[in-house]
Chains A and B, each alone.
Chain A
Amino acid sequence: MTGKGIRIEGLKKRYGRGDTAVDALKGVDMQVAPGEVVGLVGPSGSGKSTLLKCLGAVIEPTAGRMILGDEVIYDNGWKVKDLRALRRDRIGFIFQAPYLINFLDVTDNVALLPMLAGKSNAESRKQAVELFKALDVEHRAKAMPAQLSGGEQQRVAIARGLVNRPPVILADEPTAPLDSERALAVIRILNQMARKFDTAIIVVTHDEKIMPTFKRIYHIRDGVTYEEAGEGRGFD
């Protein structure tokens, strides 16, 4: 499993300095293989969002290493120059709230990512629509985000996270707004996508409905991770 997927070693993050400093991550070790979906659970304030932000290259860790595929992206300092391109091409984000861009229609919300990566409009939209079929929102492709139900919005947001086929997807409570049937469907899709595109997927969740689907779960408490075998039911 070495050299592929994502690996985190001794990752630390301290917010602020001096008396008010907060050590949000105190040495996180984690490894997710390509094609694998792992859960990340922990109580409030344990550092889940902080970890996702570090992995997502939107905040800078304080120390440790992060290896994405074959490339060391962080080793006590960023090793890639263009974090923007890193986020665009190699990391997919799925947020707790769907956060769609309200002035673009559903198709272009998703197609925007391949467009930003330089693909043609037609090619980008084709990719988006393909995902809509898999996510069962094809019939809403021309709608504006405000016209969708919460669950539909979330599925569009998932399509956006997947569309550039990133090697890593970071999902923060992706099933929170969905009923259990839809939630399980989303996890099924994430598992399918993970296998199909060799994507490593990290799902931050509190959702008891989907907990049994993970083969491996990382628990995080006070900024330290513990690995645990999950039930791993359902999607083999």
Chain B
Amino acid sequence: MISLAGRDIMNAWGKFVFTGLGLGLLIGVTLSMAGIYRGMVDDGKALLDNSGADLWVVQKDTLGPYAEASSVYDDTWRGIHAMPGVARVANVTYLTMQVRQGDRDVRSMVTGVMAGEPGTPGWPPYLVAGRQITRGHYEAVADIATGFNLGDRLQIRRNHYTVVGLTRRMVSSGGDPIVFIPLKDAQETQFLKDNDAILQQRRRTTANPNFNRPQIPGLLEAVIALQSSNAYVNAVLVQVATGHDAEEVAQSIRRWKRLTVYTRSQMEEILIGKLIATSAKQIAMFLVILSIVSAAIVAFIIYTLTLGKIREIAVLKLIGTRNRTIAGLIMQQSIALGIIGFVVGKITATLLMAPIFPKYVLLEPLDSVIGFVAVVVICILASIFAIRAALKVDPAEAIGS
């Protein structure tokens, strides 16, 4: 027996290829959407991995530091450092803002990291160029996605920083590239008010008789200094010593300090379950809509192709072709269309679409497999209308009247 579907496709290959191309672009968009979701999850995981932390110590009862604001006093780390099972501890701050360079600005997550040696929690684990921050002030390490180069002068609020090192794939959970600066500078940046506000506050403090007591020299200055410095960080990152269980260490920190502590897996849940949950739902809706549109297109095309073959189908029935064979002819064509579409879609998603999206697009092989199965299932379902029409054809039509 010959393949009727195959012969018909060969005969009308132009129609199939062009429809397949159109469908393929749609499938490419669908795969890219899935890739964007995977990219967001991967960005989140990269953020957690690159922080080098096993535990995140944050303000009590918050989901900080990424999903919610969190402030922890910047001396807290000392107490944590003394606890058993703790290898390394570091303060960290995060602030998403526009970082200026020349006459452009780049949306970045400015991360304040403590001075120390490489491997300190919060430090970028490796650089693609340059060196780590060595001075306590006004140096920066930027992700290459910012577009900054070594030696560039960056402006963050009122301070200028020199780029001394470059990293790769250091991004926030929102996909913004990270710019690392010294912790002290970062704390100041978070807290920095404009000059007017500082003057106003100074004036009010001076006017307050509780603070301005000439009989206690230096009090007013101390109060003002306190007001204009920031003694808070967003989180304390903890590395657990080898041989210790992270959850046990987290328990003891929770017990002794009035703080909330998250392990790596809890942090991942917060990022994926809460922070990017809305975007994920948005993407899921897109996937559903794109699937429906693809199904409608396949159904329409296959239906039209089938209507164009009604006479042939009547003859086939008259000469004793089984309904199963005719249904198979239509379904195979539908699946063939889906396969052409999938191949085109996979190629366009990989070569054309993923590179031009601003956010990271991660095309997972498993998603492709799922996508392929979905395309085949959609094509089978979409062929049902055409198959019903074909099965209704009366073989008597072939005889004429």
Contact = CB atoms under 8 A, between A and B. Distances in A.
A binds B: yes
A101 B320 contact: no
Given A58-B394, A115-B2, A97 B400 contact: yes
Interface string B239-260: 0000000000000000000000
B226 interface: no
B222 interface: no
A84 B322 CA distance: 7
A88 B12 contact: no
A59 B401 CA distance: 12
Interface string A31-64: 0000000000000000001001100101100000
A53 B319 contact: no
Interface in A46-97: 49, 52-53, 56, 58-59, 84-89, 93, 95-97
B8 interface: yes
Interface stretch (A102-110, A129-137, A188-196, A215-223): A102-110
B8 A103 contact: yes
Contact of B400 (A95, A102, A113): A95
A217 B396 CA distance: 24
B311 interface: yes
Nearest to A98: B315
Given A49-B401, A87-B319, A113-B319, A59 B396 contact: yes
Nearest to B314: A99
A104 B7 contact: yes
Nearest to A113: B319
Interface size class of A (residues with CB under 8 A): 20 to 34
B330 to A, nearest CB: 13
Contacts of B279: none
Nearest to A99: B315
Contact of B318 (A56, A96, A144): A56
B319, B325, B394, B400: residue with the most chain A Cβ atoms closer than 10 Å: B319
Nearest to A160: B319
A96 B400 contact: yes
B396 A93 contact: no
A49 B320 contact: no
Interface in B270-327: 311-312, 314-322, 325
A104 B322 CA distance: 18
A93 B319 contact: yes
Contacts of B394: 58
A143 interface: no
Contacts of B10: 103
Contacts of B12: 103
Contact of B399 (A100, A115, A172): A172
B1 A115 contact: yes
A117 B325 CA distance: 13
B11 interface: yes
A86 to B, nearest CB: 8
B320 A88 contact: yes
A28 interface: no
B318 A102 contact: no
B1 A121 contact: yes
A87 B2 contact: no
A116 interface: yes
A95, A103, A104: residue with the most chain B Cβ atoms closer than 10 Å: A103
B264 to A, nearest CB: 60
B343 interface: no
A87 B318 contact: yes
Given A103-B7, A103-B12, A95 B320 contact: no
Interface string B1-28: 1101001101110000000000000000
A91 B325 CA distance: 20
Nearest to B8: A103
B395 interface: yes
A93 B400 CA distance: 12
B320 A84 contact: yes
A49 B312 contact: no
A108 B315 contact: no
A119 to B, nearest CB: 9
A112 interface: yes
B381 interface: no
A108 B6 CA distance: 13
Interface of B: 1-2, 4, 7-8, 10-12, 311-312, 314-322, 325, 394-396, 398-401
5 contacts: A58-B398, A84-B321, A95-B398, A116-B321, A116-B325
Given A84-B317, A87-B318, A101-B312, 13 more contacts: A87-B319, A87-B395, A88-B320, A89-B320, A95-B400, A99-B314, A102-B11, A103-B4, A108-B2, A112-B319, A116-B319, A116-B321, A144-B11
Top-6 shortest CB links A-B? A88-B320, A103-B11, A58-B396, A103-B8, A58-B395, A87-B320
